[in-house]
Amino acid sequence: MSDKKISYLQLGGRTLEVQIGGLAEQASGSCLVRYGDTSVLATAVMGKDNPSQGFFPLTCDYEERFYAAGKILGSRFVRREGRPSTEAVLNARLIDRAVRPLFPENFFREIQVIVTCLSWDSENDPASLGLLAASLSLGLSDIPWNGPVAVVRVAREGENFILNPTYAQREKSDLDLVLAGVKHKGEVLINMIEAGAEEVPEQIFLAAYDFAQPFLNTLLDFQEKIIQEQGKPKISLAQTPVDPLLYNQVKDFLRSQINEVLYQPQKQKRNSDIEELQAQIIAQLSQQFDTDFSVDWKALFEKEMERVFKENILQKEQRPDGRKLDAIRPINCEIGLLTRTHGSALFSRGETKVLSILTLGSPGDQLLMENMEFSGKKRFLHHYNFPPYCTGEVKKLGSPGRREIGHGMLAEKALLPVIPSFDEFPYTIRIVSEVVSSNGSTSMASVAAASLALMQAGVPIKRAVAGISIGLVSCKDLSEYKLLTDIQGPEDHFGEMDFKVAGTSEGITAIQMDVKNNGINKEIFFAALQRARQARMEILQIMSQTIDQPNKELSPYAPKVKILQVNPEKIGMIIGFGGKVINEIINTYDVSIDIENDGRVFITGPSEKAVQDTISRIKEITRDFEVGEKLTGKVKRILNFGAMVEISPKQEGLVHISELAPFRVNAVSDVVKIGDEIPVKIIKIDEQGRVDLSAKQAGFCPQPKKNTSSPWENPKKHSR
């Protein structure tokens, strides 16, 4: 058994503890990291060498364990973890996006990074802790990797920033920013950003960037020391020399045709031209080389395409479709395409087209969430679909992948700050964004399409939301760079950055940044934010020409929802024994009813009349009665001493025989029978809620029957 070695660091008022050894000793690298009472185990394992595959198979997994939070979850019949939750998928993507750019370019061995949350204290975020642990496990291993990478989460309370905030602090903050960074030539560069915000201006993000820098630097120094003292020697990469003859053949062949192919503005035509060009290269090289050159020539082909692309951007500011560096592709907006849906919109930007469809539901349609970190309901949902036809491909259809989940949640995060509160708009809202044509930045197109659909549906959002992706082409040392607005196909493929920014006219609501280089500095970060704002304002202006404010009326096909406040003590009256009353109401009026513990009753129905009728019925059931109130009631039971009269669906009162009529009544049945409707007046309500009624005080004066006469009125009949 190996010795455990533990290192400590004070960070954000808490202790960060790193344990090396004692657990996953068969892995290439592993560590246990604790922050507060949250603990994660990270492992990194390297597979066998397979240079012929020509790509880098990296898998990053984040595993939630219910025991970490002291919960027993799952279905009633399978009490264990199943498929990853949405949160687990997002956390895995967060880790992947930060560590992937730091692997060597020509490294093709399979790598699997697994982060398992073993303990969660409900305060400290296991995702950012998992990324830190993944960085250490890779750094300690023999896997070639140019880390470490540090990560911090930043929130804001008033004007003050908070390092690694608790969940409670994040709930109160208007900013939730995750920054990952690496050291490059003594400078901390940012290589991954994930942020959600409530219309926060760009200057605040810049201040948060400055706030995070020293903490990132501290974490990087801390990791470097541990890796230097306890890390394994890295394996050496076998460098396959490039055949100069092969390289020259590929370069010479492409010289005359590469510009024509690379700068073809239509995606399908460009792809077919590239395939044809590759076929021509294979045919020519096959005549000159007897050995297998397939991997070599493909890598050289890509490198030459990338070289020409970057050279033309940096030197000539020439983009594949001829646009200026800050230009956006032509935009077109349409709303109300699907008449029977509750809301729909099509947002087109160049060859990228996204159709968003909105559905309104009752409060009972909310998503019930139960995972390691959260148990509760979610009323706003955005789902993103990326079918194969949108790229002209044939693929097997299946459940949403990590990319679709990630893009859907990014758009959801961007839209959430403008969604009205539940009290303002008591509907469950689901938007599905269908990517019907893709040529870059479909997630940001989903934001715009969903925003248009919300407004067309009549959802009273605060403001319209739009998004844009900013790309980067630079020298390795970042001494020279160009930012590209609204990147597409080859710009995304050959560029070094995908900086997605979404927001309103007032500020930013979401950011997601990934890079392929070492990272970006403060200058590029701020320049990208400014460029994104310029583009966002332009897109919002175009969107406003189609619809500039939410429609006043909902779709006639949308359900109608009303809120009724009742005394919480009377909830049981609405439900009834075994649900008898509420089920009767639901079946009678074809509505759904959702009741909160605070007495709010949400009635959802297909029409205004059905909802109003339901409200009237519930008011009858739960109404409070007052002494002196006059009503019309129905006789339900005949007793020897009076009649039980129903004055509401859940309330009966007693009319004593002496209060039935203004004359003497010998038998109750002589005056009333079951089913009779009679006027009554409330004369008493006792402490237990029992009601005494009077019919005679309400003006009830029935005709006395012959056998109801008093013995004093007919003495002969009763004489002895």
- pLDDT tier at 296 (50, 70, 90 boundaries)? low
Mean pLDDT of the chain: 91
| Residue 249 sits in the same domain as residue 396 | no
**The pTM is what?**
0.88
| Residue 526 sits in the same domain as residue 458 | yes
For 432-455, the pLDDT digits (tens) are 999 999 998 999 999 999 999 999
Is 172 a domain residue? no
Of the residues 520, 546, 572, the one at which a domain ends: 546
| Residue 288 sits in the same domain as residue 398 | no
Is 179 a domain residue? no
Q: What is the pLDDT of residue 372?
A: 86
Q: DSSP character for 382?
A: E
The arithmetic mean of pLDDT across residues 271-292, rounded, is 75
Which of these ranges, 43-47, 434-438, 569-573, has the smallest mean pLDDT?
569-573
DSSP assignment of 301-366 equals HHHHHHHHHHHHHHHH---TT---TTPPPPEEEEE--STTSSEEEEEEETTEEEEEEEEEE-GGGS
CATH of the domain at 376: 3.30.230.70
Is 196 a domain residue? no
Is 601 a domain residue? yes
For 383-414, the pLDDT digits (tens) are 999 999 999 999 999 999 999 999 999 999 99
Is 160 a domain residue? no
| Residue 353 sits in the same domain as residue 416 | yes
Element spanning 632, H or E:
strand 630-639
Q: What percent of the chain has pLDDT over 70?
A: 95
| Residue 11 sits in the same domain as residue 111 | yes
| Residue 119 sits in the same domain as residue 25 | yes
| Residue 425 sits in the same domain as residue 362 | yes
Q: What is the pLDDT of residue 185?
A: 86
Domain count, the chain: 5
* Helix, strand or coil, per DSSP, at residue 94: helix
| Residue 260 sits in the same domain as residue 393 | no
For 203-218, the pLDDT digits (tens) are 999 999 999 999 999 9
147: left (phi over 0), alpha (psi -120 to 50) or beta: beta
| Residue 409 sits in the same domain as residue 437 | yes
3-state secondary structure 142-165: CCCCCCCCEEEEEEEECCEEEECC
3-state secondary structure 495-529: CCEEEEEEECCCCEEEEEEEECCCCECHHHHHHHH
Indicate if the pLDDT at residue 719 is higher than 60: no
CATH of the domain at 682: 2.40.50.140
Q: Show the tokens assigned to 411.
A: 């758009």
Backbone angles phi, psi at 545, to 5 degrees: -70, -25
Within 10 Å of residue 29's Cβ, how many Cβ atoms?
A: 26
| Residue 26 sits in the same domain as residue 141 | yes
| Residue 297 sits in the same domain as residue 350 | no
User: CA 30 to CA 28: how far, in whole Å?
Assistant: 7
User: CA 695 to CA 657: how far, in whole Å?
Assistant: 10
| Residue 428 sits in the same domain as residue 499 | yes
For 675-711, the pLDDT digits (tens) are 999 999 999 988 877 899 999 999 998 876 655 444 4
Which of these ranges, 6-20, 36-50, 296-310, 672-686, has the smallest mean pLDDT?
296-310
Is 655 a domain residue? yes
Is 158 a domain residue? no
Of the residues 546, 571, 590, the one at which a domain ends: 546
Q: In this structure, what is the dihedral angle of CA atoms 415, 420, 423, 424, given to the nearest 10 degrees?
A: -160
Owner of token pair 């470097």: 224
Residues 6+ apart with CB under 8 A from 489: 267, 270, 320, 439, 440
Of the residues 177, 194, 229, the one at which a domain ends: 229
The arithmetic mean of pLDDT across residues 483-506, rounded, is 95
* Helix, strand or coil, per DSSP, at residue 490: helix
CATH of the domain at 599: 3.30.1370.10
Q: Is the Cα dihedral 166, 188, 194, 37 positive or negative?
A: negative
- 100: containing domain: 5-147+206-229
Is 541 a domain residue? yes
The arithmetic mean of pLDDT across residues 582-590, rounded, is 94
